[in-house]
Structure 1
Amino acid sequence: MERRLAVVWTSLLAAGLILVLPPALCITTSKASPRPPRLIGCVFVNRGNITCRWEAGDTPTTSYTLLIQKKRGPEPFTTNSSLTPFTCTTPDTSCTADIGMSSVRFNFCITVTAHSHRGDISSELRCQPGRIEVMLPPVILDGVEPVSGMPLCLNVTWRRTYAVFPVSDSEIRAGVLNSQIEITAKGQLEVQVKNVTVKAYSFLVCLFRPDASYAVRLRHRYRGPQSPWSPWSNARQGRTAEDAPSAAPAFWRQVKQTDKNGWRFISLLWKPLPHFLANGRVHFYNVTCWTERAQILNDHGSCRDLHHASTSCTLLLPAEPCSCTLTASNSVGTSPEAQIWLLGASETEAPEPSSISVSPVDDHNLDVSWRAPADRSVSGFVVEWFAVREKNSSILHWEKLNSSLTTLVITEGVKPMELYAVSVKALYGERGAGKNRTIHIYTRQGVPSAGPNVGVQQISGGTVELTWSPVPVELLHGFIRSYTLCYAATNQPARNVTVPGHVHRYSLENLSPGNYDIFMQANTVVGTGAAGPIINVYIGPDEVSIVMYAVLPFVLTVLAMVLMACLAQSKIVKQKLCQFVPDPSNSSLAQWTTLEVT
């Protein structure tokens, strides 16, 4: 009886729990359906293969089978279709099925079946035209040619292999192709890829610079982003046509000398146009100069018939204000004019820039900065620099800058341990250039590679007067701070004297008789340089005797004169102190004394 009651109560409790608990907490013995693999996409290669990718399901899988079957028109797809399926099996999540010579113009139905120990499960059936995801074969690029009168354009021609390219001519004309062109400028590593519209086997691309060479490749895809890009075509070289120069050359001048009548010998200087501004090969330059009264100067000096390699010419200009223009010409046209103005020989130049500073960046670069003149409107600046030479003239380097720039890093024509003169001028439009201020600087100093040549100016007794000339600036390699004058008698320790760098004469005194070797060294902040040539100076015993013989008469004469002066002085003293002393023998007292004795 008790056992029956326990069973009843247990049944009632279980029924109550079932009624009370929500459905989510109810325990069920049925299992959820496994998730099948999901097809991501395929790549169709006409008359080749189809590669598909998929996402795995949630059941452990031993392998997958990709099933692809062509579908003709409205024919329903069944796994038991009479058409031969294309399949491949793989443990991975992608697989490539060979379709032989089948065209991708058909519709295809695709499934992926996952195999496991628990059974097989397949993805949803997907049917689509093969060309939706077709990868077109690479086309053949036949030519990339310039276009006359269109220097920014190239004409590109291409063709396809009909047997494997599944797009017809009419479709191409209809614009079903998406196309891209790859451009690589000659001598550059940067590669550009640009979208282009292609509706024929010949088309214009206007993305280039004049007179420039490019390597070009082409690729297509069918309709849109679902279709992958084809491989790139073969590369073809092409060069655009020339255009007229698009900018004036940088133009400057250097006043070499001025004669007594004010005529000036002028060097006109310019820089070759960079190729991207010349837009072709420059054939010649043309220079024209005229005076303030608009009188064109007929004497062109060497500024006539200037060929493409010219970068300077010289001519004489009168004392009055003048102006000169320069143009560059190629096969298509002429550049804009570059113009410079020169003040009259008697006119006062405008102020120079202020706060000019020059400092080395490294062995081959100099940093220059300045401030524009206060309360003056300037049209630009010119920075000039050249290596200071004593024997040979050096090249004048220069850079023309617009008015907004007040700094320049010099990178051209600079070497360590060479002295450079750097100057900055302000440009005042038709008022020409202002005054300049020059600063001398080394990028890096060293020690002099030669010493001064010492010469004997005079030997007098034990004194040797020496003179020397400065070391040539090319051999200094730094700013001279001082000289070391070294001298040594035979079998005696060497001695030296430090002489300030601005001094070029010195006397060695109190030298004993003997032979002396004398030489000099120049000193910079880095150290002492090489020794100059050694000279030998002989000081004999006679040198001192000769001096004594020369000095003794003079000394004796002086002493005699001093003695005579003393004697003369003693007579005067006597006269003052002993004016009159009576003679006792002549006095009356003398007679009286005599009588008294007898």
Structure 2
Amino acid sequence: FLFGTWYHFQMRCRRSSARGYWSEWSPGRNYTTHEKAPTGKLDAWWSARLAGAGGRLEVQLRWKAPRQQEANGRVLGYRVTLSPRRRGRDPPTICNTTHTQCNFSVPAGTRRVYLSAYNAAGESAATEVVLLERKGQPLARLWAVPGGERSLWVRWEAPPAPVAAYILEWQRVSSEPGRCSACWQMERDGATTTALIQDGIEPFQQYNISLYPLYKDAIGVPVHTAAYSKQKAPSYAPKLHLKSISKSDAELCWDPVPVEMQNGFITSYTIFWANSTAEVSSATVNPSLSSFVIRELKPSTLYKVHIMASTVAGGTNGTSLTLVTMVLDDIEIQFLFLTLVLIFVLLILLLICFQKNGRVKQQFWPNVPDPANSSLGKWVPVELQQEHLQVPGAREPGLATISTVTVLEKATWGKEPTAEAASPFPAMPQPYVQQEGLGRPGRGWAAAEPHQGPGGSGETVQYARVVGDGYKGQQHTPPRLYLRSSSSQPLLPEPSPSPKPYQNLWFHRAAPHGCPGDGGCPEELLATFPLLQGLRISGAEELQD
């Protein structure tokens, strides 16, 4: 029997000949063996770091509870000291606890602490814990495989140097910070290369495993690996987000699946996209990436995209994302914008140049000749400029006035011109030709071709020379000369009825009633006609002769 162990006893019997049946079990009786001080050494593991400027060393010490055959009863607690216990003298205690871990502070340079367990019968021998530096040679390789739904087999390659023992540590990977203080075990056989982990292993959960080789005077640098005892398809796939898009490319990104929801190692992500014509394409993405660029898309096209996360046990599809490609890329839009701005600036500069430079303006917008303001329209012969033009003071507002009318020849229908009427005029020059020296010097004449009058005779009809004044409100300019000749139409289209005196006074030999024959009365009649108001007929004396 083991020390300090509780036992339950029951008995039954049968005949010695063994030919009968066994009797019923007797009522049970409970007995506990007496205890003894714990024996054996404790498996301990530690970590230390320097804290503050005081040179103190912060130590976290963890140990395994002794096995039943070594505990020799119910363990009441554990004690940590800086030196071993000597006969007749107890060393100072730095930690006394009922748990299997303890945090304490020791002076810098401390290399050993001593750990012991005690029960009602006594205290065990102290286990020496050497606080070695972690600078030893690491292992060459470490891997883990499932040993069942709740266990893992860990295998490694032994280092060249002899190893005293191994410390195997594992932690469950979680989004929430936390640490399992009991998730470690010691392999005291330095020659072994395998270990079975059974404590705290759950299916569909990821575990990080670390292995430390313990040398005689140092602790080796740890190596790490990750493992699942059992895998399945992820609980859900990540959600896609559109990072950027152009007319032919779309960049997608996603957040990784939380490790608790992965249910296994993610082997790949698969991106699927399809347009409105059901053309489906896909691409496989490395699980270490969290973004992907879809290329060779059609401009201005609607696409539906979704992602699938896969493990060795299966895959899970995510939600669909709808996107529409652009008509132009950002660079093309910027180039088009800059081009339009440049064209606008050039147009502004050209307009400024045209306004400032008259020569350039003349090349694009030449001046169109204006007959009314031409030099020929303003030209007046020198002899006419010397004449005194009488302009009436009263004029109709807004109407053009004629200052002088000179009759070159007077002819009557149905009669031949007399030699006396024709004698003052010299031979007429060609039409529309300004002549000097013919007739009176400096005087411009207009000639007319013969025209058949109303009576069928080829009489010559001479038009008047008219000098007009400007409109009211305009700037006064020198008198203008208007010449007409070579008309193909009769001066009076109808011979009958005869024009009234105020219309064409020179067609009537007799003066109107009450008017003298010296040409004074026509001026009074012209004054009554609005359009011919202010007219003055010169040369009437010659016509009367």
- Please, what TM-score do these two structures have when normalized by structure 1? 0.47
Q: CA deviation at 1:476?
A: 1.6
Tell me the residue number matched to 1:508: 294
Structure 1: distance between partners of 2:248 and 2:76:
73
C-alpha displacement of 1:279: 1.5
Which residue of 211, 219, 223 corresponds with 1:437? 223
Q: Which residue does 1:497 correspond to in 2?
A: 283
Seen in structure 2, the aligned counterparts of structure 1 residues 370 and 212 have a Cα distance that, compared at 3 Å, is same
Post-superposition offset of 1:530: 4.2
Amino acid at match of 1:342: L
CA contact (8 A) 2:81 2:93 kept: no
* Shift in alpha-carbon separation, 1:305–1:320, aligned structure 2, 3 A: closer
Residue 349 of structure 1: CA displacement? 0.9
Q: Report the counterpart of residue 332 of structure 1 in structure 2.
A: 121
2: CA distance between counterparts of 1:535 and 1:485? 11
What's the CA shift for 1:385?
A: 1.6
Once residues 80 and 227 of structure 2 are traced to their aligned partners in structure 1, the CA distance between those partners, rounded to angstroms, is 35
Give per-residue Cα distances to partners, 1:404-444, cap 9 Å, x unaligned: 45132212222232222222212224x34221111222223
Aligned partner of 1:467: which letter? C
Tell me, yes or no, if structure 1 residue 392 matches structure 2 residue 177.
Answer: yes
Aligned to 2:232: 446
Aligned to 2:443: none
Alignment deviations for residues 11-65 of structure 1 (CA, whole Å, 9 cap, x no partner): xxxxxxxxxxxxxxxxxxxxxxxxxxxxxxxxxxxxxxxxxxxxxxxxxxxxxxx
Which is higher, the Rg of structure 1 or of structure 2?
2
Counterpart of 1:410 in structure 2 is: 197
- Bigger proportion of residues as strand: 1
Q: Please tell me whether the aligned partners of residues 216 and 238 of structure 1 are also in contact (alpha carbons under 8 angstroms).
A: no
> C-alpha separation between the residues in 2 aligned to 1:472 and 1:298?
48
Provide the rounded CA distance (Å) in 2 between the counterparts of 1:518 and 1:246. Answer: 67
Report 1:179-194 matches (<5 A).
Answer: none
Deviation of residue 352 (structure 1)?
Answer: 2.5
- Give the structure 2 partner of residue 280 of structure 1: 73
Q: Give the distance between the partners of 2:281 and 2:91, measured in 1 at CA.
A: 67
- Partner residue, 2:255: 469
TM-score (norm 2): 0.51
Give the Cα separation in 2 of the matches to 1:495 and 1:213: 71
Structure 1 CA distance, aligned partners of 2:234 and 2:335? Answer: 44
**Once superposed, what is the RMSD of the aligned Cα atoms?**
4.1
Residue deviations 1:77-132, cap 9 Å, x none? xxxxxxxxxxxxxxxxxxxxxxxxxxxxxxxxxxxxxxxxxxxxxxxxxxxxxxxx
Displacement of 1:529 after TM fit?
2.4
SS in structure 2 opposite 1:349?
A: strand
Deviations 1:184-241 (A, max 9, x none): xxxxxxxxxxxxxxxxxxxxxxx6533432527699x99xx9xxxx999986432222
**% of aligned pairs identical?**
26
Is 2:215 the partner of 1:422? no
Aligned-partner Cα distance in 2 for 1:330–1:515:
76
Match of 1:126 in 2: none
Contact 1:364 1:416 in 2 (8 A): yes
Do the aligned residues in 2 keep the contact of 1:363 with 1:415 (CA within 8 Å)? Answer: yes
Q: CA deviation at 1:328?
A: 1.2
Contact 2:205 2:264 in 1 (8 A): yes
Q: Give yes or no for contact 2:236–2:316 (8 Å, CA) kept in 1.
A: yes
- Is the partner of 2:220 in helix, strand or coil? strand
Q: Provide the rounded CA distance (Å) in 1 between the counterparts of 2:45 and 2:82.
A: 13
SS in 1 for 2:221: strand
Shift of 1:458: 2.1
One-letter code aligned to 1:399: Q
Tell me the distance in 2 between the aligned counterparts of 1:516 and 1:449. Answer: 26
Q: Deviations over 1:233-268 (max 9, x none)?
A: 98643222211112233211245x666878665432
Whole-angstrom CA distance in 1 between matches of 2:167 and 2:279: 56
Paired residue for 2:149?
363
Q: What secondary structure, in the 3-state scheme, does the structure 1 residue paired with 2:334 have? A: helix
Cα 1:501–1:258, aligned 2, differ >3 Å: closer, same or farther? farther
Q: 2:314 aligns with which of 513, 527, 549?
A: 527
Do the aligned residues in 2 keep the contact of 1:251 with 1:270 (CA within 8 Å)?
A: yes
Structure 2 unmatched ranges of 5 or more:
84-89, 343-545
**Alignment of 1:484 onto 2:270:** yes
Q: Does the CA-based 8 Å contact 1:421-1:440 persist in structure 2?
A: yes
State the 1:527 CA deviation.
2.5
Q: Against the structure 1 CA distance between its residues 530 and 418, is the aligned structure 2 distance closer, same or farther, given a 3 Å change threshold?
A: farther
Say whether the 8 Å CA contact 1:216–1:237 is kept in structure 2. Answer: no
Q: Residue 517 of structure 1: CA displacement?
A: 4.3
Q: Which amino acid aligns with 1:286?
A: R
- Looking at structure 1, the residues matched to 320 and 63 of structure 2 have their Cα atoms a distance apart, in angstroms, of 48
Is the 8 Å Cα contact of residues 388 and 394 (structure 1) preserved in structure 2?
no
Q: Which position in structure 2 is the counterpart of 1:550?
A: 334
Deviation at 1:277, TM superposition (A): 1.8
- Structure 2 CA distance for partners of 1:488 and 1:315, relative to 1, 3 Å: farther
Q: 1:254 to 1:477 in 2, by over 3 A?
A: farther
Distance 1:323 1:508 in 2: 61
Residues in 2 aligned to 1:482 and 1:372: alpha-carbon distance in whole angstroms = 33
Which residue identity lines up with residue 209 of structure 1 in the other structure? F
CA distance in 2, matches of 1:240, 1:438: 45
Find the counterpart in structure 2 of residue 458 from structure 1.
244
Q: Is residue 2:39 matched to residue 1:246?
A: yes
The Cα of 1:333 is off from its aligned counterpart by 0.6
How far apart, CA to CA, are the structure 1 residues paired with 2:207 and 2:26?
55
Partner of 1:212: 6
Preserved CA contact (<8 Å) 2:309 2:317:
yes
Alpha-carbon displacement from aligned partner over 1:498-551 (angstroms, at most 9, x marks no partner):
2222322222332443554443221222222242x544445465xx28654323
Query: 1:455 offset after TM fit, Å?
Result: 2.5
Point out the more displaced range, 509-518 or 365-374.
Answer: 509-518
1:502/1:357 Cα in 2 relative to 1: closer, same or farther (>3 Å)?
closer
The corresponding residue for 2:30 is 237
Residue in structure 2 matched with residue 131 of structure 1 by the alignment: none
Match of 1:306 in 2: 97
CA contact (8 A) 2:81 2:92 kept: no
Shift of 1:381: 1.5
